[in-house]
Amino acid sequence: MKAMTGTRGLVLNEPFLWEQGARGRTCFSMPRRDVDPCPLKDELVGQGPDFPDLSEVDLVRHYTRLSTWNFGVDTGMYPLGSCTMKYNPKINEKMASLPGFAGAHPLLPAELCQGVLKLMYDLEKYLAEITGLPAVTLQPAAGAHGELTGMLIFHAFFKARNQQRSKILIPDTAHGTNPASAALCGFKSIPVASNDQGVLAPEEVAELMDEETAGIMITNPNTLGLFEDNIKKIAGIVHAKGGLVYADGANMNAIMGIVDMSKSGVDILHLNLHKTFATPHGGGGPGSGPVCVTKNLEKFLPVPRVIHQNGDYTLTYDCPESIGKLHAFYGNFGVQIKAYSYILSMGAELKKASQLAVLNANYIKEELKSVFHLPYDRACMHECVFTDKFQKPYKVTTLDIAKRLMDYGFHPPTIYFPLVVHGALMIEPTETESKTSIDLFIAALKAIAKEARESPELLHEAPRNPKMRRLDETIAARKPCLAG
Ligand X SMILES: Cc1ncc(COP(=O)(O)O)c(C=O)c1O
- Least CB distance to another protein at residue 421 (A): 15
The contacts found for 255-260 with CB under 8 angstroms, 24 or more apart, are: 255/221, 255/227, 255/354, 255/381, 256/130, 256/350, 256/351, 256/353, 256/354, 257/130, 257/348, 257/350, 257/351, 257/352, 257/354, 258/351, 258/354, 259/132, 260/131, 260/132
Residue 333 interacts with which of ligand X, another protein, none, CB < 5 to 8 Å by class:
another protein
Residue 80 CB, nearest approach to ligand X (Å): 9
Q: Which is nearer to ligand X, 248 or 451 (CB)?
A: 248
Q: Does 116 bind another protein (CB under 8 A)?
A: yes
Bridge partners of residue 356, in order along the sequence = none
Q: Which of residues 229-258 bind ligand X (CB under 6 A)?
A: 248, 250
Residue 235 vs 396, nearer CB to another protein:
235
Query: In a 10 Å sphere around its CB, with 0-12 CB exposed, 13-18 middle and 19+ buried, how is residue 200 labelled?
Result: buried
**CA 177 to CA 287: how far, in whole Å?**
15
Least CB distance to ligand X at residue 226 (A): 13
Q: Does 393 bind another protein (CB under 8 A)?
A: no
Q: How many residues does the chain have?
A: 484
Told to check if 366 binds another protein by CB under 8 A, we report yes
Instruction: Choose the binding region for another protein from 66-74, 203-211, 291-299, 445-453 (rule: CB under 8 A).
Output: 66-74
Contacts of ligand X in 315-334 (CB under 6 A): none
Is residue 413 part of the contact set for ligand X (CB under 6 A)?
Answer: no
Q: Which does 82 bind (CB under 5 to 8 A by kind): ligand X, another protein, none?
A: ligand X
The CA angle 39-40-44, to the nearest 5 degrees, is: 150
Q: In what order do the strands lie in the sheet with 425-427?
A: 384-386, 425-427, 414-415
Residue 6 touching ligand X (CB under 6 A):
no
Q: Which is nearer to ligand X, 175 or 338 (CB)?
A: 175
269 neighbors 246 (Cβ within 8 angstroms): yes
Q: What is the DSSP pairing of strand 167-171 with strand 188-192?
A: parallel
> Pattern of binders to ligand X over 353-382, x per CB under 6 A?
------------------------------
**76-115: which residues touch ligand X (CB under 6 A)?**
82-83
- CA 427 centroid distance within chain: 15
User: Distance between CA 168 and CA 170 in Å, rounded?
Assistant: 6
Say how far apart CA 383 and CA 87 lie, in whole Å. Answer: 16
Q: Is 194 in the site for ligand X (CB under 6 A)?
A: no
Other CB atoms within 10 Å distance of the CB of residue 109: 7
Contact flag: residue 205 with another protein (CB under 8 A):
no
CB of 176 to ligand X, least distance (A): 8
Residue type, 121: Y
Q: Which is nearer to another protein, 80 or 449 (CB)?
A: 80
Using the rule CB under 8 A, which residue among 70, 163, 166, 195 binds another protein? Answer: 70
Query: Is residue 137 part of the contact set for another protein (CB under 8 A)?
Result: no
Distance from the Cα of residue 274 to its chain's centroid: 6
Q: Which is nearer to another protein, 144 or 292 (CB)?
A: 144
Q: Please say whether the beta carbons of 220 and 197 come within 8 A.
A: no
Q: How many residues bind ligand X (CB under 6 A)?
A: 14
Q: Which residues share a beta bridge with 218?
A: 247
* 419 to 458: interface string for another protein, x by CB under 8 A: ------------xxxxx-----------------------
Cα dihedral: 194, 82, 78, 91 (round 10): 150
- Closer to another protein by CB, 255 or 374: give it: 255
The reply to whether 145 sits near another protein by the rule CB under 8 A is yes
Q: How far is the CB of 17 from another protein (least distance, A)?
A: 5
Strands 167-171 and 414-415: unpaired
Q: Which is nearer to another protein, 180 or 393 (CB)?
A: 180
475 touches another protein (CB under 8 A):
yes
| 196 in contact with another protein (CB under 8 A) | no
Short-list 79, 70, 74, CA closest to 283: 70
- Residues in 154-193 that interact with ligand X by CB under 6 A: 175, 177
Which parts of this chain interact with ligand X (CB under 6 A)?
82-83, 142-144, 175, 177, 219, 223, 248, 250, 272, 287, 289
